[in-house]
Structure 1
Amino acid sequence: MTDESRPRRTQEQRRAATVGKLVDATIAAISEVGYQRTTVQEICGRAGLSAGAMFRQFGTRLDLIVRTASDIMERQLDGYRLTMEHLGAQDNPLDTALRFLRQAQQSTLTHALREIYLAARSDADLRARIAPIAETYYADIVAALDDTRVLNAFPPEKREPLFFMLLYLFSGEAVVRGVYPRPDFDATLLTLLEDILAVYAAHTEVQTRP
């Protein structure tokens, strides 16, 4: 197709493409060089755009960071939902869910989001902007998880805390293994965790049995 015959993109399509480049560049920069070193110059250099092009889409660096956090959460949520849709066809749905949650915490996307979370601890403006997005994000994940019934062996009031316990565990693992990797523990830790959950499920079943 020649340049003359190729359909011209609309202004909205061009804007979406520019925003996409900026968000992808921000994710890559934060995951590789950290939040503080992800400057406007760093982002634009990776995106192949000028600072002026960035500021035509985002009023401030903070606006871009917030949009990036939101996009990361949307992409991660899509991954969670896709995995959960297929849990019913798995021989061991809980094992599949645990493996996905663990892998998700080790991804480039989550690493970038974790860096943003860490920055938000000491940046009140950033924290105020992303907290409502995060609240909706986790509520949607829990709702999708409830639909799978994968945690139905546990009392209803324990299921959401169980999810967050597993999230915190795998998130912490992802941080530590960046400095001290122990791949020889990977299978053992997962088996141990599933055994612990099985014992707890049996314990709660006994407690609630009439």
Structure 2
Amino acid sequence: MTEAPRPRRTQQERRAATVAKLVDATIAAIGEVGYQRTTVQEICGRAELSAGAMFRQFDTRLDLVVRTAEEAFAQQLNGFRAVMEHLDAQQNALDVALRFLREAQSSNLIHALREIYLAARSDTELRERIAPIADTYYREIVATLNETGLLNDFPAEVREPLFFMLLHMFSGEAVVRGVYQRPDLDVAVLTLVEDMLAAYAARVAPPTQS
């Protein structure tokens, strides 16, 4: 029997596939060679597409970078939610969450986002366009964290600051780790963080009723 011919993709499907290739190539390029060196030629070479194909989807490189930031935030949020959904089955939920948060900061996806953040410090248009996307992302990731009840041992007013403190600590660690690798320190830092969180939770716990 001959195989039935595959249905031809619609124009919308072809466009979505092209955009996905360009976004994936942009994430890979920015994460590996940096924001400034991620040229149109670099992106198109990785995506195996012509510059014309790119400009049929995006008016400018900046438009593609903004779309890439949206996708990077979405992928990170989805990954975080997937881990959070299974915390109830973990013997030490906080340890699992901290390890995920730490390792995520060393992914090429997050390296690309950090490069975009750094570029936005001196690029007003880039900053203005990604700021609302980042705002939505952080609101949703904090809401997801609160839904798990993972930080319920801490006062409500410190849960978000506590999350950001840990996130920024692990983010900075991931940058330094690229040139100064100390696995022994990685282990010691995580142990210290967990001990400090346990001590703080015990200190702020409401007194037990006698």
1:123 aligns with 2:123: yes
Q: Which runs of structure 2 are paired with 1:62-101 in the superposition (5 Å)?
A: 62-101=62-101
Aligned AA (1:139) = R
Give the corresponding residue for 2:110.
110
Give the corresponding residue for 1:144.
144
What secondary structure sits across from 1:91 in the alignment?
coil
1:160 aligns with 2:149: no
Give the corresponding residue for 2:19.
19
Change in CA separation of 1:44 and 1:4 when aligned onto 2, cut-off 3 Å: farther
Write the distance in 1 (CA, Å) between the matches of 2:166 and 2:184: 20
Q: Deviations over 1:128-187 (max 9, x none)?
A: 000000000000000000010000000000000000000000000001111111112222
Q: Percent identity?
A: 72
Give the corresponding residue for 2:201.
201
Q: Deviations over 1:107-129 (max 9, x none)?
A: 11000010000000000000000
Write the distance in 1 (CA, Å) between the matches of 2:2 and 2:58: 33
1:4 shift after superposition: 7.4
Aligned AA (1:136) = T
Q: Deviations over 1:30-64 (max 9, x none)?
A: 01110000000110011111111000000000000
3-12 vs 30-39, greater mean Cα deviation: 3-12
Change in CA separation of 1:78 and 1:209 when aligned onto 2, cut-off 3 Å: same
Aligned AA (1:169) = M
Stretches of structure 2 that go unaligned for 5 or more consecutive residues are: none
1:3 shift after superposition: 9.2
Aligned AA (1:62) = L
- The alignment yields a C-alpha RMSD, in angstroms, of 1.6
What secondary structure sits across from 2:59 in the alignment?
coil
Change in CA separation of 1:48 and 1:3 when aligned onto 2, cut-off 3 Å: farther
Change in CA separation of 1:93 and 1:6 when aligned onto 2, cut-off 3 Å: same
Give the corresponding residue for 1:32.
32
Write the distance in 2 (CA, Å) between the matches of 1:45 and 1:2: 36
1:189 shift after superposition: 1.1
Write the distance in 2 (CA, Å) between the matches of 1:190 and 1:59: 45
> TM-score with structure 2 length normalisation?
0.96
1:70 shift after superposition: 0.4
Give the corresponding residue for 1:181.
181
Give the corresponding residue for 1:169.
169
State the aligned residue count.
Answer: 209
Aligned AA (1:45) = G
1:8 shift after superposition: 0.4
